[in-house]
Structure 1
Amino acid sequence: MNYLEESDSEDELPPGWEERVTLDGNVYYANHYKQATQWIHPRSGRKKIVSGDLPADWEKQISDDGKIIYINHTNNITTYTDPRLAFASEYMETSQPTRQRFDGSSTAMSVLHGQDLRGKYALITGANSGIGFETARSLALHGCTVILACRDIKKAKDAIKKIKNENNTTICEILECDLSSLNSVKNAADNFKYRFKTLDILILNAGVFYPPYTLTVDGYELTYQVNYLSQFYLTLLLDHPLRNSDKPRIVIVSSESHRFSSITSVDDLQQFKLSPTASNYWPMSAYNNSKHMNLLFCHELSRRWQHITVLCCHPGNLVYSNIARYSWLLKLLFLIVKPFTKSLQQAASTSVYCATAQELEGNSGLYFNNCHQCDPSNYALDNLLSTKLWTISQEMILNIMKKDKYTNELDFN
């Protein structure tokens, strides 16, 4: 449900609205323009109730036309407004967040305005450019220690230099991690656990879009492994640092394109479809499927790891970044629509909101778009699909890691 934009005071009613109280003390709101009433405040989305006795010298009566009136005998005032409204108590009927504080025009920096993230540790994949960089930059400039998990160390160093040029006191670290190699993911996780004991925020941001058919060193299709499988593996390997945090969060960057996934049943969860052969490969389908798997991963992880808040989000449509680097036609398309789509700062806002908003604490397994909860596809909430994907993903990782003579143990939970 969407609510009206905030004023200087979120409790202030918009023009044409009036606050009233029923006989049993429940507050309702009358919209004189539409001749309609509702129980929730039109700005805050909350309900109110008044209780206790009326102030001294006040009396409640029913008028001849059946309306409730309040009479102040001291000042000879008659009004329809309950004098106790100034002390009404707010409440919500659900623990789920319903009020939208930010929207598609919000930036990551505005989401974090006033927050102090000193003492927090965040690991972000693909953080050297694009949305990942703006996510890292925004968190670092608000005091968070940010670890940039990147394949290209030089680009990661350049990214940190840009952040420090804005504020030299920021704390940014580099973690070498090539998502096209499961062994590199394993080494990155080991390196992180050696250097850091706690992880408060894990943002799985990295992704590729529309590459030509490519097999990774592990023999899996590139889009599948980079966008999903390797980040699934990284998450499992970082279980203990996450558990060491007081209120850990995992944010998985998906896409609205998950709604066009061809994975709709358990029968579709076969290795040849998850990691297609060259003859069965279509870049857009591979991308859609990988983003659908991200949502299934979020759903299953939230059920298995109930000690961690796990959230999934869509950053925006056709956001201009180097994600379109594999096709000059896509580069041109992204450039043409750039004036009409989100900036990188706006695209990073939902990831940052999911990672830091206090009202989301404990509300795991949810999907967000434009900093607001929305419903994913029905297939993304399928328990059989998510459980089967989890099992197959583990098997595919085990098949590769068992071949690695340097790997003596597997950190599956």
Structure 2
Amino acid sequence: MSQGRKVIVLTGANSGLGYETLKLLIQHSTPYHFILAVRNIPATEKAVLALTIPPQHKIEISKLDLSSFTSIKSFAQGLLTRDSTLPLNILILNAATIKSTFNSFISRIIFVNSSLHKQSEEHKNFESLDVKNLNDSKGYDGLLFYRHSKLVQMLFFNQLNKLLEREEKEKVSLIAIEPGFMPQTDLSRESAIYIKLLMKYILPLAPFARTPEQGGTVIVYASTSPELEKQSGLYINKCCKVDKASEDSYKEDLQKTWWNISCDLTGLLEKKLL
């Protein structure tokens, strides 16, 4: 039982931005029941043991491999079949996104995005989204694919917000955030060695660089601030101010196209838009 605690599901909680977010949230006097959705349970257990958890909070670790649709669906189904005394109040999508349906309670969902999603339109030399290059058949550029993935996330975010406003009214609140550039996270863990060294030792000294803790404050603000109560579709920048996402992210034709592509890839064909 949650014993009056608000329930927070946090992905990617054992390192980097997710871990800093957890460290900040456990400092709150508001009692929380954390469900840490992670791929590596032993590493998460070790990370949690390094923290001093105040008695008002409860920590639960649950398996979620975001590279596996089977794991994602299993985790989401597990949430939906929980006892009604453990409702989901806040969902922090720090590592990736999942779509779920909810019971009759107000829930806040946080999409961790990036200001990089705006650069395709700000710099004309950047390639635009290309449906035919999902499998890198036209060549792969890591930074370009990352940028595009964040634009697709914003297209999904805006489309989902419209659907929820139509169907759920005030039950679900969606908020997207940009935490700023944080080279000290695990973002470069699968990059070449020179990139890892650059991110670890050089770029943290740049004046525009931010620490994971600073990025975490944006997530915590979006997740818990009473100022944002019952508001939805907001984009919060690294200064914790309401901002505007890219112009492309508001284009209804792109929203519909990439929503339907997402449905095809995840097997949720019944959710496609006509």
**What TM-score do the two structures reach when normalised by structure 1?**
0.56
CA change 1:411–1:148 in 2 (3 A) is: farther
CA distance in 2, matches of 1:390, 1:286: 17
CA distance in 2, matches of 1:196, 1:286: 39
1:361 aligns with 2:249: no
Counterpart residue type for residue 182 of structure 1 = F
Counterpart residue type for residue 187 of structure 2 = I
Aligned with 1:155 (options 37, 43, 54)? 43
1:382 aligns with 2:251: yes
Contact 1:311 1:364 (C-alpha < 8 Å) held by counterparts:
yes
CA distance in 1, matches of 2:213, 2:181: 14
Aligned with 1:329 (options 194, 200, 214)? 194
Post-superposition offset of 1:376 = 1.4
Query: Which residue of the partner structure matches residue 135 of structure 1?
Result: 21
CA change 1:202–1:396 in 2 (3 A) is: same
Post-superposition offset of 1:196 = 5.0
Q: 1:276-295, aligned counterparts within 5 Å?
A: 276-277=135-136, 279-295=138-154
SS in 1 for 2:236: strand
CA distance in 2, matches of 1:297, 1:150: 23
Contact 2:26 2:53 (C-alpha < 8 Å) held by counterparts:
no
Q: 1:206-225, aligned counterparts within 5 Å?
A: 206=95
CA distance in 2, matches of 1:191, 1:157: 20
CA offsets, 1:356-375, max 9 Å, x none?
11111232112111211111
Q: 1:189-200, aligned counterparts within 5 Å?
A: 189-195=76-82, 197=84, 198-200=87-89
1:371 aligns with 2:240: yes
Contact 1:122 1:200 (C-alpha < 8 Å) held by counterparts:
yes
1:348 aligns with 2:207: no
Post-superposition offset of 1:184 = 0.7
CA distance in 2, matches of 1:279, 1:412: 27
CA distance in 1, matches of 2:120, 2:68: 25
CA distance in 1, matches of 2:56, 2:15: 21
Query: Which residue of the partner structure matches residue 188 of structure 1?
Result: 75
CA distance in 2, matches of 1:161, 1:191: 25
Post-superposition offset of 1:194 = 3.3
Post-superposition offset of 1:169 = 4.9
If asked which structure has higher relative contact order (CA below 8 Å, sep 6+), I would say 2
Counterpart residue type for residue 220 of structure 2 = V
CA distance in 1, matches of 2:260, 2:272: 11
1:252 aligns with 2:111: yes
CA distance in 1, matches of 2:93, 2:217: 14
Post-superposition offset of 1:351 = 1.2
Post-superposition offset of 1:136 = 2.1
Q: 1:110-121, aligned counterparts within 5 Å?
A: 119-121=5-7
Post-superposition offset of 1:412 = 8.8
CA offsets, 1:260-315, max 9 Å, x none?
348x9xx9562x33x22355221111100111111112111111112311111111
Query: Which residue of the partner structure matches residue 204 of structure 2?
Result: 338
CA distance in 1, matches of 2:71, 2:142: 24
CA change 1:196–1:412 in 2 (3 A) is: farther
Contact 2:129 2:148 (C-alpha < 8 Å) held by counterparts:
no
CA offsets, 1:101-135, max 9 Å, x none?
xxxxxxxxxxxxxxxxx621111111111111111
Please, what is the CA RMSD of the aligned residues?
A: 2.6
Query: Which residue of the partner structure matches residue 94 of structure 2?
Result: 205
Query: Which residue of the partner structure matches residue 172 of structure 1?
Result: 59
Counterpart residue type for residue 365 of structure 1 = G
SS in 2 for 1:324: coil
Percent identity of equivalent pairs: 29
Structure with more helix by fraction? 2
SS in 1 for 2:50: helix
Contact 2:32 2:56 (C-alpha < 8 Å) held by counterparts:
no
SS in 2 for 1:396: helix
CA distance in 2, matches of 1:159, 1:284: 29
Moved over 6 A (4+): 410-413
Counterpart residue type for residue 364 of structure 1 = S
- Structure 2's unaligned 5+ residue stretches are none
How many residues matched?
A: 252
- Structure 1's unaligned 5+ residue stretches are 1-117, 207-226, 403-409
Contact 2:14 2:43 (C-alpha < 8 Å) held by counterparts:
yes
Structure whose alpha-carbon radius of gyration is higher: 1
SS in 2 for 1:277: coil
Q: 1:15-94, aligned counterparts within 5 Å?
A: none
